[in-house]
C-alpha cells in the first residue's frame, strides 16, 4: 500500500498561552511506500506523534489530504475508517495498552475480535515465538515486565499482517538487545512488503532505515 500525505497541517489550541493557536505540524508532504522502513527522529514536542496520528487515521489534519492507494482516509465515514485501520494498519503505541482482564494470547488476538473475524491463532503463536514471549501465552499483563508488555503490543499490532505499520517510540522501555531485536523485526516486516514508519530516539535505528526524516518544530526535514 502507498500512504500519501499531501500538504497536511495540524493546528492546536494551547490553553492559556500568549498566542494560543499554533501548528504542531506545519505543511508536510510524505509518502510511505510498501517495502520501505522510514525512521522519524526529532526532539520531544516537535510534532512526531501528531504526524503519526494523522497518518494512521486517528487525527484529522487541519488542512491537506491523506490517501491510501488513492482513497482519501478522512473522507471515509467513521465506521469505515475504523474498519480500514483495523484491517490495513498496525499501530504500536507509545504507552501501555494491554487489557488486564485478558491473557497475553487474548490480548494479541484482540484485533480479530473487534469485527467478529476468525482469530488467526497460528499467526499469534508465530509472533510470540519470534518475539520470545511464547512461554507467556497464558500469563496476565500484570505478571509481565515492561519489555514483555511492549512485545505483546508489537504482536497485537502485527497479528493481522497490516500493510502499513506505525511504531511510536517502540523501544523506549527496552534494553539494547531487545531494541535491536525489535528493529530487526520491523525491518523484516518491511522486507515482506509492509510500509513501516518508526518514531524513535535510538540513533542505531538509522542502520535499519531506508529513509531517515527529522521533525524540527513542526517541520519535516530529510535526514
**Can you give the binding site for ligand ADP, defined by CB under 6 A?**
12, 14, 24, 42, 44-50, 215
Rank residues 20 and 138 by Cβ distance to ligand ADP and give the closer one.
Answer: 20
- Residue 56 contacts Mg ion per CB under 5 A: no
Q: CB 49 → Mg ion: shortest distance, Å? A: 3
CB of 14 to Mg ion, least distance (A): 16
- Residue 185 binds which one of ligand ADP, Mg ion, none, with CB within 5 to 8 A depending on kind? none
Which CB sits closer to ligand ADP, 9 or 34?
Answer: 9
Grid coordinates standing for 83? 474498519
- Residue 131 contacts residue 179 (beta carbons within 8 Å): no
**Which of Mg ion, ligand ADP, none is residue 46 near (CB under 5 to 8 Å by kind)?**
ligand ADP
Rg of the chain over Cα atoms, rounded to whole angstroms, equals 17
Report yes or no: 194 and 165 within 8 Å, Cβ to Cβ.
yes
The smaller minimum CB distance to Mg ion, of residues 38 and 49, is found at 49
- Specify the residue, 48 or 187, whose C-beta has the smaller distance to ligand ADP: 48
49 touches Mg ion (CB under 5 A) = yes
Residues that bind Mg ion (CB under 5 A): 48-49
Amino acid at each position: 500500500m502507498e500512504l500519501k500525505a499531501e500538504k497536511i497541517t495540524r493546528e492546536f489550541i494551547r490553553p492559556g498561552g500568549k498566542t494560543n493557536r499554533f501548528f504542531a505540524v506545519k505543511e508536510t508532504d510524505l509518502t510511505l511506500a510498501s517495502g520501505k522502513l522510514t525512521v522519524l527522529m526529532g526532539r520531544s514536542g516537535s510534532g512526531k506523534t501528531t504526524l503519526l496520528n494523522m497518518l494512521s487515521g486517528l487525527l484529522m489534519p487541519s488542512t491537506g489530504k491523506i490517501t491510501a492507494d488513492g482513497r482519501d482516509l478522512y473522507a471515509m465515514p467513521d465506521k469505515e475508517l475504523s474498519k480500514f485501520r483495523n484491517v490495513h494498519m498496525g499501530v504500536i503505541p507509545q504507552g501501555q495498552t494491554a487489557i488486564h482482564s485478558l491473557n497475553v494470547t487474548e490480548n494479541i488476538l484482540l484485533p480479530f475480535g473487534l469485527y467478529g473475524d476468525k482469530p488467526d491463532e497460528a499467526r499469534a503463536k508465530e509472533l510470540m515465538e519470534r518475539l520470545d514471549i511464547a512461554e507467556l501465552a497464558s500469563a496476565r499483563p500484570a505478571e509481565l515486565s515492561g519489555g514483555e508488555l511492549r512485545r505483546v503490543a508489537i504482536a497485537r499490532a502485527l497479528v493481522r499482517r497490516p500493510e502499513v505499520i506505525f511504531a511510536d517510540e517502540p523501544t523506549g522501555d527496552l534494553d539494547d538487545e531487545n531494541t535491536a531485536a525489535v528493529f530487526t523485526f520491523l525491518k523484516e516486516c518491511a522486507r515482506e512488503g509492509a510500509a513501516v514508519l518508526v518514531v524513535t530516539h535510538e540513533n542505531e535505528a538509522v542502520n535499519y532505515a531506508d529513509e531517515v526524516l527529522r521533525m524540527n518544530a513542526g517541520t519535516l526535514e530529510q535526514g
